[in-house]
Structure formats: structure tokens, C-alpha cells
Chain A
Amino acid sequence: MVMQLIRKTGLLLILGLNSFAAIAQEAKWNLPEPVTPVARDIFQIHNQFMLVIFVMFIVVLAIMIYSIFKHRKSRGYQAATFTGPTTRSQIAWTLVPFAILLYIDFILMGIPAVHSIQLMEDTKQGAEMVVKITGSQWRWQYEYMDGEAEGIKFVSNLTTPQEQIYNKEEKGENYLLEVDNHFVVPVDKKVRILITANDVIHTWWVPAFGSARDAIPGFLRETWIQVEKPGTYRGQCKELCGKGHGFMPIVVDAVPEDEFKAWVVAKKGEMEAATAGADKEWTKEELVAHGKGVYEKNCAVCHQANGQGMPPAFPPLTGSAIVAGPNFDADGKLLVDSHLDRVWNGKNIMPGWKGTLNDIDIAAVVTYERNALGNAVGDVLQPAQVKALR
């Protein structure tokens, strides 16, 4: 009987301990595992500083708690009357905590902090690759500026379906942290990153890289990464940038050198195929079918999947006079404030897409908007016509 009880309690205890360890491992109590020199530096600093402030907190708290229990009226403690240090040695002892604090601020914490700033801001020295990242509402664009990958340029969109966000479907493993085109970098290479934005301020941030830098419209900022461990890393925009702020994640694939080379070849082939397609004659059905995908990925977040928009900020496309109007004048010149002009150049909050979408995508999405979503203008915009605008 007693033995049984002991065995049962022991079993429960072991179960309990195991599940606690599992929870502690599962739950994230600290910064993610660092994979770049900067992140490693920050991780070290963070752990050290947390320890320092924890000790400071405990010491001060202990003194206070001692006083709370010892110096209370209910224990008959008589109040002292001192209002400051009086003797020389008292004054000296009073200064000790501040000397310790100054040491912590400017030496113990200060010196490593300066070193890590210098490391963080050393973006140019030894950089083997340059990539330009552009933030816009609400997607990231990556452009490889030099080396074998020069010319590769793509937009990276959230792929989590609306049904998951609005709880109509089971949420996937990488809910809100998944995109169509991953940003691919080779491991162990210092990548200098130039950052800017098209519309409002965004912040490009991957926690495992420790690099957060604001993307500021009209200015270039820079940072750098050197990923030391192959893998897929996920991050998010962290500057409030409008209603899609929570929906513009970053996914980076760090791959070995040869895999990166293979990716460059494949990506270039993909891009060539896309540009080649721009010269052929497309049928309306082909364009509408392709345009539906482009629309849902890029436009539906504001104008809604059914084209009804969210007035007054985001006007409806269904029945819109701009969509129904002509795109070109009699001489074949792009009309100001026409449908294509709005998509091409943007206006106010509507972004221009000439830099982010290719000719086929633009032609397809314009054709789709004119012939679907309850509209039936009937005409077709050929990718070649869009190409001619460039």
C-alpha cells in the first residue's frame, strides 16, 4: 500500500519534471539562437546585461525586504531620525553604490557596447555581396546588385491565405511567417544590405541575425549579415506601416555556396522566361487567368478579393469609372489618370507597380480588373504594350 503510494507519487513527480523541462524548451524565454557575428555579439551582451541588472535588482530588493520585515511598527521598531550621511565614513559609504553604478554603466556595460556598435556599423569592410531591400506597403522587394546574382530582382509576398487569418481554415505551421519568394543568401559570406522604402517607414528585421534597420522612403540605409549556419530564418517588419504591418514577413534561406549558384541560375532562367513571354501575343483568357493570381497576391488586401474595396480609403474597382475608361489616347500615349496610369505610377496611398511587377503581371492584372470583378470592359492589354512604356 505504502510502496504503491510512493511509486505513484514518484511517477507523477517524474512526469511533472519531464513536462516542465519540455515546456521550458518549447516556450521561448530568451533571444533566438544567433547565427551572425552581430547577433552573437548582441546575444552575449544581452545575457551579460540581464544578469547584471538581475543582480542589482535582487540586491536592492533584498535590502528593502529586510527593512520591510525588520523596521515595522507592529514589531515595536522605533524610528530613527537621520536624514542623510553625517560622518565622513558614512559619506564615503554612500558614494560606493554610485561608483559601482558608474563602473557598470560606462565600463562593464559601456565598453562591450561600443565594440558591438562598431561591429554592427561596419557594413562595407570585406563585404562580398550587395543586396538592395525595398520595403513597401506591405511586401519586401529584393534586388541583387553585384556578382553572379546581379540583376536578380523579385518581390516577396505573404502566402498565408485569408481563410487562415480569419479562422476559416486550420492555421499552418509557419502562419504569417511564410512568403512566396524567399530571400536567398550564401552562408559565410558578408552581405552588405542597402535598405530603402517606397511609401512609409518599415523596419527589416530577422531576430536570428540581430540586424534591424529602418527602411526610409527617399533615403538609403545600410546594415550587414553574414549567416554562419545554413537554414531558413524568419522575421517581420517592426515599424508600424499601416494596416498590413503584421502581414509582411521576411524569410531568408541561407544556403551553401554551390546551392546558391544553382539558385542564381534557376532564378535567372525564370526571369528570362518571364521577359520572353512579354513579346508574344496573349489571349484574353490567358491574361485573365494569370491576372487573377497577381490580383489576389498584390491588390486584394486593399481592393478586396471581390473588387468592392474598403471606401473611402480604398475605392472599389467594380463599376469604377477609371477602370472602365481608355488607357491610351489616339496616338497610343498613356493617358494621365487612366487605369494603367494608376497601376503603373500610383497616386497617393496607391503604390506604383512599375518597379515591382513585370510586364506580364501588369498587363494581366489590368486585363483581369477590366474583365472580371463584375467589370466587362472587354479590351485586352498586351504585355508588349506595357513593355513599350519602359
Chain B
Amino acid sequence: MSYASTAGHDEHHDHPTGIMRWLTTTNHKDIGTMYLIFSLIMFMVGGLMILAVRVELFQPGMQLMQPDFYNQLIGVHALVMIFAALMPAATGFANWMLPLQLGAPDMALPRLNNWGFWLLPPAAILLTLPFTLALFGIGDGAIATGWTFYAPLSVQGGIGVDFAIFAVHILGISSVMGSINVIVTIFNMRAPGMTLMKMPMFAWGWLITAFLLIATIPVLAGAVTMLLTDRHFGTHFFNAAGGGDPILFQHLFWFFGHPEVYILLLPVWGFMPQILQTFARKPMYGYKAQVYSFWGIGVLSVVVWAHHFFTVGMPVPALIYFMFSTMAISVPLAVLFFCWIATMWRGSMTFETPMLFAVGWIILFGIGGLTGLVLADVAADAQYHHTYFVVAHFHYTLFAGGIMGIMAGVYYWLPKMTGHMYNENLGKLHFWLTAISFNLTFIPQFFLGLAGMPRRIPDYALQFADFNAVSTVAALVLGLSQLLFIYNIVSCARGGKKATDKVWEGSDGLEWTLPSPPPYHSFTVQPVIK
């Protein structure tokens, strides 16, 4: 490794320093780092919002806030977590790891990359600005329709809706640019000899995600633009009195919204088998089967959207079609689960923090998947829909399946990124606190939903009080234990035991052939894959 000694020095020769370095950087690792830090900050912002909500729900009665402010918090929480925490985290990993894993010096379109990131902070500000404006008597706060923007409620809403529409536009542009960059990088920058069917699983996950983003984000952008013209320019897309249809909005929204779930999850499904094989010290099981499953899920994800609103009243054949197509997703998903467990099977496993998160992730995401299978049943869905049962279900897929997956990735790659080992004991403590308090937060919500508590209500009947109290206390523990995560990341970035190039005993892949941290221009000479 002759270039190891120059690592950390080569950025000085013609780059600006200080804030200008970060504003103008086109380096994939700088941009990746900014994405990840942004994501962590927004994760805490969105978390604080929902903790306020949980505290309000601790007991029946209104204690902390007014119902309209409550409605703003739940909607902005979801938008922040989805668009500003989970998606940027996945993009951050793509930026950091794709060039490293593909053997490339950088991403294919570095300036686009810079722009893609720097669109995010203004969008986040747009989304949350109405809270501040309301303090000064301008407008009545942020969007209060939930993250789904359902018309006509959103047509009726205040300026918060307009802010959210523009924020979604900007976030969408950023995502599409990121996706184009990923696709171009994967198709053009792979090391010689690395055919598509030899490339790392993470690249496959992101490739499908990128295609889904490009296919569906424009639909969302169109839908919210129609909403904007309904609000201000006298069109009636979603108003029956003018010949429109409110349900059209739901179709357009969920045509984006359902693939969005897989957009959030596919990158995680990509790197998770890599983590499993590292700590099982055994090659990945069923690589091809996983790739084909990704494709299967990608295709199915755009033809099942109406299961998000079975209760609007649809013709029987449509109900049956959307039910069975949704259930069909369980097949490729089962292939993935099979492969993950078969990767662990007869391995020689150790349980460092990334592996703990990975195993916990399989179990908890499994609960999310299985409850999703039951939700696909139209008749049963009439009971579960819009209750806390659904809230618990999608937090098992998006918090356990999404965020805990991202955490596994952070612990897995942090030594590679910073050059230091994180504190293993703190990491393990973080895992156990997160996993236990997460379950104590959301298992009661399954029962709340079955008992008949609708979601998005600021106050509830007395029979729901016990489960809500448990859920709130556990949510506070869950929130607080994330401070450990931040502390661990920050102290790891600042120093600690030096990480080796390989970091983990069982690691396998191009990123582990570079020094930790990798040099500024990752692979200046492309490695050759046999």
C-alpha cells in the first residue's frame, strides 16, 4: 500500500479549507459524510417531534398541546424521518461505499453530487419553517394533514401545506439526481472484470432503488403540483364539485408511496448480507436468488399501491387483485429471508455490534413483514386500517427494518470511514437498549389497534390508557438511548483504537483492501477482478 502514507494529505493541494471545503466539495466521501451527518441531525429532530407526541399521549386528556399542533407534529415527523433521515442515510452510504466497493476513484457525476446534497438543508428548513413563522403570527403552523397530503384536507390547510409541497419538490429533485448518479456510477465505473452479476449486493440494492426513485418521484411531484394548483389556481383535480376526485390523489400518492417503502429498504437489504457474511465468516448464500428477488420486488412494488386505501370503496375485482398482488410480494421477500438465514447457517459467528443489529433486524423486520401479510387481507384490513395496528406494523418495517438496518451499517463501516474502532461495549449497550425499548414501544400499539384505537388522534378513550402509558415510557427510553449512538460516533471520529485495513476478521470486498480511512481519491488505480 504505497499510497497509504499520503492518505489525509492529498486533499490539501488545491482544495479550499474551512466551510468552503464542504460547500464546494465534489469528493464522494466528503459528500457522503455530510449526508450521514445531516441524516443523524434530522433523525434527532424527527425523534424529538414524536417524543412530544408520545408525552401528550401518556394519559387521556389534552395536556401539552392543541390538537392542530399535534396534527402538525405527526405529519412533519413522518416527512422528516422518511425524506430527511432515512433516505439521506442510504444516499450517504451510497456515496461513501459505492466507489469503494466498485473500485472507482469517485462517483461518476461529482458536481451533481454536491448539488444533490446541498438541496437538502434548504428543503428541511422549508419543511420546518412554518413552525417558527407561526410563533411570529405568520400562518398557522406546519402541514397538519399527516405526511400523506390527502386532498381535500390538504386543499383546506394553511401555508404549511405550500411549504411542504415545495420541500417535497426539492427533496425529490435531490433524490432523482442522487439516483442518476448511482446508476451512472454503477454502469460505468465498475472495476475491470466486475460484471453486474459479480458486483456487491449493496450496489444491486441501490441500483433497484435508483430506478424506483426515477420512476415514482415524478408522480409524487405531479400529484403535489396538482394539489398546489387546486389550492391556489382554481383547478379541481381533487374536488368532486368541479369534476375531480379526491381518491385520484390517493392513487397518485401511493403509486409513489408504496415503492417508497422499498426505496428505503432495498439499500439496507443490499448491505445486510454483506454484514452477515462478514460475521458468519462464510460466503453469502444465494447471491443470484437475492438479485432476482430484488428485481421481483422492484417490479411488484409499483403494481400494489391500492392496498394502502382498501377502505375507500373499490370494485370487488380490484380489491382481489390488489390483495393477491400484495401477498405475492411475500415470495421474493421470503427468498431474501431464506438467504439471510442460510448465510448465517453453519457459519462461525461472532456477535459484534453490527452483527447484533443485523440479527435483531432480521427478527424485527420479520414481524413487520408478517403483519404486512395479514394487512393485505382486504376484510381484515377494514379493522386494522388507520389504527395503531398499522402504526406498529410500519414502524417494525421502517424503524426496525430501516433505521436499525442503517445503524448496523454505521457500526460496520464506521471504523473504515474514521480509521478508529468505536467503543464495542457502548455499541452493544446501544443495541440492547434500542431493541428492547423499541419492542416495548410498539408491541402495545398492536394491541391498541386491535382494541380499536384509531391513529392520528390527539386524545383517546379511557380503555386505551394503560398501553399508551407503557408505549410512551418505552419511547422515551428509545429516544434517550440514541444519545449513546451519537456519543459513540463522535468519539470514534475523534480518536480511539486504530482500525486495521480489513477491520473485521471475516470482511470480504474491495472496500477492505484500502487503508482505514481510505485515501481522498479512493481507487486511483482500478483493481482488477478475476
Contact = CB atoms under 8 A, between A and B. Distances in A.
Nearest to A85: B286
B359 A56 contact: no
A211 B382 contact: yes
B450 A28 contact: yes
Interface in B16-39: none
Interface in B332-391: 334-335, 337-338, 341, 344-351, 359, 362-363, 366-367, 370-371, 373-374, 377-380, 382-383, 385-387
Nearest to A239: B386
Contact of B241 (A77, A101, A218): A218
Given A217-B240, A238-B387, A313-B158, A109 B327 contact: yes
B349 A171 contact: no
B489 to A, nearest CB: 27
A117 B378 contact: yes
Contact of B316 (A30, A84, A118): A118
Contacts of A238: 385-387, 454-455
Q: Is the interface of B mostly helix, strand, loop or mixed?
A: helix
B399 interface: no
A64 B359 contact: yes
A143 to B, nearest CB: 19
A239 to B, nearest CB: 6
A205 B453 CA distance: 11
A239 B311 CA distance: 10
Contacts of A361: none
A105 B363 CA distance: 21
Contacts of B240: 216-219
Nearest to A32: B452
A176 B467 CA distance: 17
A201 B245 CA distance: 11
A319 B379 CA distance: 52
A330 interface: no
Nearest to A94: B338
Contact of A79 (B313, B347, B463): B347
A229 interface: no
B499 to A, nearest CB: 20
B382 A221 contact: no
A17 interface: no
Contact of A237 (B286, B383, B454): B454
A116 interface: yes
B447 A212 contact: no
Interface residues of B, number: 94
A68 B276 CA distance: 12
A72 B350 contact: yes
B150 A67 contact: no
Interface size class of A (residues with CB under 8 A): 35 or more
Contact of A242 (B153, B374, B463): B153
A120 B341 contact: no
B222 interface: no
A216 B338 contact: no
A171 B313 contact: no
Contact of A207 (B334, B452, B457): B452
Contacts of B379: 38, 41-42, 45, 113, 116-117, 119-120, 210
A171 B371 CA distance: 34
Given A164-B61, A165-B459, A175-B60, A222 B287 contact: no
A49 interface: yes
Contacts of A64: 341, 344, 359, 362-363
Nearest to B140: A313
Contacts of A214: 309, 311-313
A71 B359 contact: no
A165 to B, nearest CB: 6
B50 interface: no
Interface in A114-156: 114, 116-121
A27 B466 contact: yes
A219 B346 contact: no
Contacts of A203: 311, 386
Interface stretch (B64-72, B105-113, B167-175, B422-430): B64-72
B146 interface: yes
Contacts of B327: 105-106, 109-110
Interface in A78-110: 78-84, 94, 97-98, 101-102, 105-106, 109-110
A223 B323 CA distance: 19
A60 B467 CA distance: 28
Interface string B440-456: 00000001001110111
12 contacts: A29-B447, A42-B383, A46-B374, A53-B370, A64-B363, A77-B349, A105-B327, A109-B373, A113-B323, A113-B379, A164-B61, A246-B459
Given A45-B380, A117-B323, A214-B313, 18 more contacts: A28-B447, A28-B451, A56-B370, A60-B337, A64-B341, A84-B287, A98-B334, A101-B331, A105-B373, A177-B461, A203-B311, A207-B452, A214-B309, A221-B313, A235-B452, A238-B385, A241-B153, A245-B456
